[in-house]
Amino acid sequence: MTEVWVPVKGYEGLYEISDQGNVRSLDGTRWNGTVEHPFKGRQLTFQNKKDRYLCITLSKDSKQVKVRVHKLMAEHFLPEPPGPVGKGKGCYQVDHKNDDPHDNRACNLQWLI
């Protein structure tokens, strides 16, 4: 089966995410204050959060944002939930069907209240 890659929303041209739960940076250049240096894109390394979920750090315009991979996957590969997303009563959250918080494949994720 072929891994399907799509641009990360808000980070187009910088990062891509796949339906298998992988995230990669793309080839580009960085400005060091004097000259631009080319760099090779790579698959990002996941970080474990204290709550067991995998995170990655995305960087754009010298600003870094840490995001949970399963939430990023849901945003890109699941249909929009029929109601609000969040932690409050009646809000939808991303659920891992097999209860493995490290299995972030699109086929293993669903919206639940």
pLDDT at residue 29, as a whole number: 86
pTM: 0.87
pLDDT at residue 62, as a whole number: 85
Q: Is the pLDDT of residue 1 over 80?
A: no
Instruction: Label residue 2 exposed, middle or buried (CB < 10 Å: 0-12, 13-18, 19+).
Output: exposed
Q: What is the pLDDT of residues 26-70, one digit of tens each?
A: 998 887 889 998 999 999 999 987 778 999 999 998 899 999 999
Tokens of 32: 């060091």
